[in-house]
């Protein structure tokens, strides 16, 4: 992930993937945050074999994580996962009823008192009430070619456009 692949242009945040490479872009909060609602309105890159992530994470790897992974392709797919205490506790993959590379859509994670809820365009699409980490974690947005998809880079630069991203703390935690 190269910081040079993150830019603001035309009022949008762009997470770029340079053509002909497996390069990507990532942003994260400077400090960890507590329970809350994390949302981003995004138009995904049309770059099959890559993903855009909207997630909460605290090291070490796989110890504490709440993920939305969006497959950067017109045939929309989304994966939700949680990791707690070093183990995968939940995962679910679903088809999206739209092409996420054609227009902006809102994706969100809401940590509740007991678990987590995942939203697409303000519609609840997945929820779990157990096996969800409660630690303070950093918020991340990224676009990249993960090894588990055996990435084939696009020939030209592609990017995920972010109209806005927000975080609202949940005082009830």
CATH of the domain at 16: 2.60.120.200
Write down the pLDDT at residue 173: 52
- By residue range, what is the domain housing residue 132? 3-169
Give the per-residue pLDDT at 98. Answer: 97
Q: Which tops the pLDDT comparison, 134 or 99? A: 99
Task: Give the pLDDT mean for 1-15.
Answer: 88
- β-pairing verdict for 12-17 and 123-128: unpaired
**Mean pLDDT calculated for residue range 41-47:** 96
Q: Torsion angle, CA of 36/41/43/45, rounded to 10 degrees?
A: -30
Assign residue 111 a region: left if phi > 0, alpha if psi is -120 to 50, beta otherwise? beta
- The structural domain count of the chain equals 1
pTM comes to: 0.93
């Amino acid at each position: 992930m190269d910081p040079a692949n993150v830019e603001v242009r035309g009022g949008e945040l762009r997470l770029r993937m340079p053509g002909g490479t497996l390069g990507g872009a990532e942003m994260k909060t400077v400090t960890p945050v507590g329970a809350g609602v994390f949302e981003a309105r995004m138009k995904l890159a049309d770059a099959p074999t890559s993903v855009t992530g909207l997630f909460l994470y605290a090291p070490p790897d796989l110890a504490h994580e709440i993920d939305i992974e969006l497959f950067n392709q017109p045939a929309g797919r989304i994966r939700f996962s949680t990791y707690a205490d070093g183990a995968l506790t939940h995962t679910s993959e679903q088809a999206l009823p739209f092409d996420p590379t054609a227009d902006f859509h809102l994706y969100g994670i809401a940590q509740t008192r007991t678990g987590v809820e995942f939203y697409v365009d303000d519609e609840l699409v997945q929820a779990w009430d157990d096996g969800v980490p409660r630690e303070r974690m950093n918020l991340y947005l990224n676009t990249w070619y993960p090894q588990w998809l055996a990435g084939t880079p696009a020939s030209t630069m592609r990017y995920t456009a972010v109209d806005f991203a927000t975080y609202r703390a949940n005082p009830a935690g």
